[in-house]
Amino acid sequence: MDKSWIRSTCRDLELYYNPKVGDKLRMDTSTNALGANPAGSRALAESASLNLGQYPSTYGDNLREELAKLYGLRKDNFVVGNGSDEALDIIIKTFLEPGETVITAHPAYVLHSFFVKINGGRTVTVDLDDDFQLDVERINSTPGKVVLICTPNNPTSNTFRLDDVKALIEGSDRPVVVDEAYGEYAGRSFLPLVERYDNLIVTRTFSKAYGLAGMRIGYLAAGEEMAEAMQKVKIPYSLNLIGERVAVAALRDREFLERSVKVVQEERPFLEQGLRDLGFQVYPSEANYILFRSTTPSEVLAKGLSDKGVLIRDFGKVRRLENCLRTTIGTREMNTFLLDRMKEVLRECL
Ligand SMILES: Cc1ncc(COP(=O)(O)O)c(C=O)c1O
């Protein structure tokens, strides 16, 4: 194939993280340690009688109504779709002209710059400080069309100071996107402020605390005018008939959500201590995952663990995260399994 057929901005892409999973324990994708959302699974079973010959609601109106009730906003404040990744893609498509710039933090979620690139934009990163906090002054004085951050930040696992995020929103006459994929674990959200700030967009997901990563459901919230502009860009029907049903059921099941957050709060100190006892430097977490730094090469650890049946994510090749790895916070059983296997790998490295 002639490479020049491919759009120049898409020519040097790499495939995304795609490990051989088999029956390995997955602690690499920060999903829900308690597994699938029970109300969502029931709704899925009941979906067998749905008429799959028909299209779903064009814009997922039932789910948007349900979200509006939850947050005390209106349905037209929301755009729902195929994971919050779709929401992020929609945002970039809506606001960025080819060649324009999006400002992101570094280190941050790797797909932020991917969405910018595939949509023909340019990413300018502003480094987080030594505590992985935002450099507000530099971001606000950097020219660019859109600002995009996530809090809790992935993979550093900390949240940003509320005042700093506010200063980004108030100090910018441009869209500021706050990716809150892990917002439920931190217990704070900028989402209720989307009517107060007309440049604020918040993205959220059902993949993490709601335990529905396999269904691919996410959403964004913004002022109604901004949301309408993005709704027009979204691929119609991108949230399928079953996904919408499952999401509505999951949203109503507050008990599972609360339990999911609680298990992370209870298990975090255990896993942090276990990692410290093995000699790792552990970074403070407000999410359902922990970032830690090793003195043994991170790829050796990740490979050794994978060979023993547990996957965690290696960030050792990322600037400023040399020899860092990220693990999901699991149940006690999962965490113990991980720590035991890690002990074996470290012993074998001696
Ligand atoms: C920070 C962040 N944002 C967005 C996403 C995308 O989540 P999803 O597309 O599953 O909603 C992830 C997934 O890991 C993430 O870590």
Alpha-carbon distance of 157 to 137, in angstroms, equals 22
81 CA → ligand 1 middle, Å: 13
Structure tokens at 301: 């650890």
Whether this model's pTM surpasses 0.85: yes
Nearest CA to ligand 1 atom 15: 181
Give the mutation target among 111, 180, 328 for probing the ligand 1 site: most ligand atoms within 8 A of CB. Answer: 111
Nearest CA to ligand 1 atom 14: 29
Strand 200-205 to 101-106 pairing: unpaired
pLDDT band at 137 (very low <50, low <70, confident <90, very high): very high
Give the mutation target among 154, 158, 184 for probing the ligand 1 site: most ligand atoms within 8 A of CB. Answer: 154
Nearest residue to 230 (alpha-carbon basis) of 86, 24, 31, 20: 86
Question: DSSP secondary-structure letter at 154?
Answer: T
Residues 240-271 pLDDT 10s: 999 999 999 999 999 999 999 999 999 999 99
Alpha-carbon distance of 146 to 176, in angstroms, equals 6
Nearest residue to 312 (alpha-carbon basis) of 322, 300, 320, 321: 300
pLDDT above 90 (res 336): yes
Residues 37-49 pLDDT 10s: 999 999 999 999 9
Ligand 1 atom closest to Cα of residue 86: 9
Alpha-carbon distance of 27 to 312, in angstroms, equals 5
Residues with CB under 6 A from ligand 1: 30, 83-85, 109, 150, 154, 179, 181, 205, 207, 213, 218
CA 112 to chain centre: 10
Strand 310-311 to 324-328 pairing: unpaired
Nearest CA to ligand 1 atom 13: 181
User: CA torsion, points 198, 68, 262, 289, in degrees to nearest 10?
Assistant: -50
86 CA → ligand 1 middle, Å: 10
Give the mutation target among 37, 84, 177, 185 for probing the ligand 1 site: most ligand atoms within 8 A of CB. Answer: 84
Averaged over 1-27, what is the pLDDT?
93
What is the per-residue pLDDT for 349?
86
Nearest CA to ligand 1 atom 2: 181
pLDDT above 80 (res 196): yes
Structure tokens at 12: 């040097």
Ligand 1 atom closest to Cα of residue 153: 1
Give the mutation target among 85, 206, 238, 246 for probing the ligand 1 site: most ligand atoms within 8 A of CB. Answer: 85
pLDDT band at 172 (very low <50, low <70, confident <90, very high): confident
Ranges of beta strands (E only) in 188-244 are 200-205, 218-222
168 CA → ligand 1 middle, Å: 21
Give the mutation target among 86, 207, 326 for probing the ligand 1 site: most ligand atoms within 8 A of CB. Answer: 207
Contact criterion met (CB below 8 Å) for 174 and 199: yes
245 burial level (CB within 10 Å; 0-12, 13-18, 19+): buried
CA 270 to chain centre: 24
Nearest CA to ligand 1 atom 12: 181
Mean pLDDT of the chain: 97
What is the per-residue pLDDT for 350?
73
4 CA → ligand 1 middle, Å: 32
Contact criterion met (CB below 8 Å) for 83 and 207: yes
What is the per-residue pLDDT for 272?
98
Structure tokens at 176: 């500021």
What is the per-residue pLDDT for 103?
98
Q: What are the residues facing 178 on neighbouring strands?
A: 149, 202
241 CA → ligand 1 middle, Å: 21
Nearest CA to ligand 1 atom 7: 84
Residues 79-90 pLDDT 10s: 999 999 999 999
